[in-house]
C-alpha cells in the first residue's frame, strides 16, 4: 500500500503546475475574441461556469470525506450523496418547464442561485442524518436547477456557432481544478470542517455572476410545432437519454467513493485533490479541441468512444488503486468519460430539442443522466461498497458503461446527421 507522503514525493505533477497548465491552455485560445466580436457575453457566461463547477470541485470530491468525518457509514454516505444527484430528476424539469412557459431563463437562474445559498446555510445547524438529508435536498434542488437553464442561454448566445460551446464550458473545468487543488491542500492544514464554508462561498459566486448575464435571443426555430412528448417518441431521443442514464449511473460510485477509495489506500488529501485536478485538466484540453473533433468524427462516434473508455477506466480504478501511474492514466480518461461525453451528448440534445423545447430538453438530459443515473449509481454503490468492496463495485460500474455503449450503438444518430 502506498502512503500519501510517498505519493506526493513521487507524483509527476503538482497542483499549481496542473492549474497553470489548464489556465495557460485556456487563455491561449482565440475563441474568446471570436465570441466577443459577435456580441456574445463570453466572460460573463464563463464566470458562471467557473463558479458553478468550482463549487462542484469543492463538493463532490470531498463531501464524502466530510460525511465520513461526521461519523456516517458507507451506506449512509451513498444515500446522502445520492440526494445531490437525485434532486436533478425533479428540479431541472420543473424549472425547465417554467422557463419554456415564460420564454425566459435567466430570472429563474438567479432565483435558484440565491435560494441555494440560503438553504446551504442550514448545514451548520444540522446534526443528524435526517436534518443533513433535508438541508442537502433543499440546497441541491435549487443548485441543480440553474445549470440546464444557463446551458440553454449559452446556446442561444452561440447561435450558429454551437460547436464553440466547449470554449465557454472549459472555464467550468478550470474552476473545478482550482477548487479541488486548493481545497485538497487546505484540508491538510484545517481538516474537513472547512468544506461547507468553501462551498457556501462559491455558491455566492454563482449567484453574483448570474446577475450580469443577459437573456439570450431564441433562434428562429423557436416556433417549431413539435412538443416534447412527441420528441420523446423518437427512438434516437430515447436511446440518447437511456445511454446517458447508464453512463452516469456508472459514475455514481466514482463520485461518492473515489476519494474514500484513495484515502483508504494511503493517499493524502493533497494527493487526492491532485488526482481529481489532473482528470479535469485533461478534460480542459479536450474542450479546447472539441469543436474540431465534432466536425471530424461526429457526435455519435465520440459518444461511443467515451462509453468504451469508461469501461476501461472503472476496471483500472477498481483493481489497481495502489499503482500511482495507473491512477494517473485512469484519471486522464476523465477527458473522455466526462469531457467528450458531455460535449457530444449536449450537442445531440440541442439538435433533438429545438426552439422552445430547449429548456425542457436540456433539463431532461440533465435530470435523467446526471440526476436519475447518478443517484441510482450512488445508491447502488453504497450497498455494493458495504457488502462487496471496491473491486466489485467498480466492475458493476464498468458493466453499466458497456450497456450504455450498446444502447447508443443501436439507437443514437445512426445516420450521423449531427
Q: Domain 15-216+228-411 belongs to what topology? A: Growth Hormone; Chain: A; (1.20.1250)
How far is it, in rounded angstroms, from Cα 147 to Cα 158?
16
Lowest mean pLDDT among 2-11, 221-230, 395-404: 2-11
Which tens digits make up the pLDDT trace of 278-331? 998 888 888 788 878 888 898 899 999 999 999 999 999 999 999 999 999 999
Give the start-to-end residue ranges of the domains of the chain.
15-216+228-411
- Of the candidates 347, 343, 370, the one whose C-alpha atom is nearest the C-alpha of residue 93 is 370
* Average pLDDT rounded to a whole number, residues 132-142: 94
Q: What distance in Å separates the CA atoms of residue 40 and residue 46, rounded to the nearest whole number?
A: 11
Residue 23 confidence (pLDDT): 40
pLDDT band of residue 36 (cuts 50, 70, 90) is very low
What percent of the chain has pLDDT above 70? 86
Q: Is the pLDDT of residue 267 over 50?
A: yes
- Residue 20's pLDDT is what? 44
Model confidence at 222, pLDDT cuts 50, 70, 90, reads: very low
Question: Mind listing the pLDDT tens digit for each residue in 104-122?
Answer: 789 889 999 999 999 999 9
Q: Tens digits of per-residue pLDDT, 46-94?
A: 999 999 999 998 998 889 889 988 889 888 998 898 888 778 788 877 8
Identify the residue with better confidence: 158 or 202: 202
pLDDT at 415: 67
Cβ atoms of residues 61 and 259 within 8 Å: yes
Please give the span between the terminal C-alpha atoms of the chain, in angstroms, as a whole number. 47
Q: For position 85, what pLDDT does the model report?
A: 75
- pLDDT for the residue numbered 10: 37
Identify the pLDDT of residue 37. 40
Q: Is the pLDDT of residue 97 over 90?
A: no
If one counts every other C-beta atom within 10 angstroms of the C-beta of residue 388, the result is 12
Amino acid at each position: 500500500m502506498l502512503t500519501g507522503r510517498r505519493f506526493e514525493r513521487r507524483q509527476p505533477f503538482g497542483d499549481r503546475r496542473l492549474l497553470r497548465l489548464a489556465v495557460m491552455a485556456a487563455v491561449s485560445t482565440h475563441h474568446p475574441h471570436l465570441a466577443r466580436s459577435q456580441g456574445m457575453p463570453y466572460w460573463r457566461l464563463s464566470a458562471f461556469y467557473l463558479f458553478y463547477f468550482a463549487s462542484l470541485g469543492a463538493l463532490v470530491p470531498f463531501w464524502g470525506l466530510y460525511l465520513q468525518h461526521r461519523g456516517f457509514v458507507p451506506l449512509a454516505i451513498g444515500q446522502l450523496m445520492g440526494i445531490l444527484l437525485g434532486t436533478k430528476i425533479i428540479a431541472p424539469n420543473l424549472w425547465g418547464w417554467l422557463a419554456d412557459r415564460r420564454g425566459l431563463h435567466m430570472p429563474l437562474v438567479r432565483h435558484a442561485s440565491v435560494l441555494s445559498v440560503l438553504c446551504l446555510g442550514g448545514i451548520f445547524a444540522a446534526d443528524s442524518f435526517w436534518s443533513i438529508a433535508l438541508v442537502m435536498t433543499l440546497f441541491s434542488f435549487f443548485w441543480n436547477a440553474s445549470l440546464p437553464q444557463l446551458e440553454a442561454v449559452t446556446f442561444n448566445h452561440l447561435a450558429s456557432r454551437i460547436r464553440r460551446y466547449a470554449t465557454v464550458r472549459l472555464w467550468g473545468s478550470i474552476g473545478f481544478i482550482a477548487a479541488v487543488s486548493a481545497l485538497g491542500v487546505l484540508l491538510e492544514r484545517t481538516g474537513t470542517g472547512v468544506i461547507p464554508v468553501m462551498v457556501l462561498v462559491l455558491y455566492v459566486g454563482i449567484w453574483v455572476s448570474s446577475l450580469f448575464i443577459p437573456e439570450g435571443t431564441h433562434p428562429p426555430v423557436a416556433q417549431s410545432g413539435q412538443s416534447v412528448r412527441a420528441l420523446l417518441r423518437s427512438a434516437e431521443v430515447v436511446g440518447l437519454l437511456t445511454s446517458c442514464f447508464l453512463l452516469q449511473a456508472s459514475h455514481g460510485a466514482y463520485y461518492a467513493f473515489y476519494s474514500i477509495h484513495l484515502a483508504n489506500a494511503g493517499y493524502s488529501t493533497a494527493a487526492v485533490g491532485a488526482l481529481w485536478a489532473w482528470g479535469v485538466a485533461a478534460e480542459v484540453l479536450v474542450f479546447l479541441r472539441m469543436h474540431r473533433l465534432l466536425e471530424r468524427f461526429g457526435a455519435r462516434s465520440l459518444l461511443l468512444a467515451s462509453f468504451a473508455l469508461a469501461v476501461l477506466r472503472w476496471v483500472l480504478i477498481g483493481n489497481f488503486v495502489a499503482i500511482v501511474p495507473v491512477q494517473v492514466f485512469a484519471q486522464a480518461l476523465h477527458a473522455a468519460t466526462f469531457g467528450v461525453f458531455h460535449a457530444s451528448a449536449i450537442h445531440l440534445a440541442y439538435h433533438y430539442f429545438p426552439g422552445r423545447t430547449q429548456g425542457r430538453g436540456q433539463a431532461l438530459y440533465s435530470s435523467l443522466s446526471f440526476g436519475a443515473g447518478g443517484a441510482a449509481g450512488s445508491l447502488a454503490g453504497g450497498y455494493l461498497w458495504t457488502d462487496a468492496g471496491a473491486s466489485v463495485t467498480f466492475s458493476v460500474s464498468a458493466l453499466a458503461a458497456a450497456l450504455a455503449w450498446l444502447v447508443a450503438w443501436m439507437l443514437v444518430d445512426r445516420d450521423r446527421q449531427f
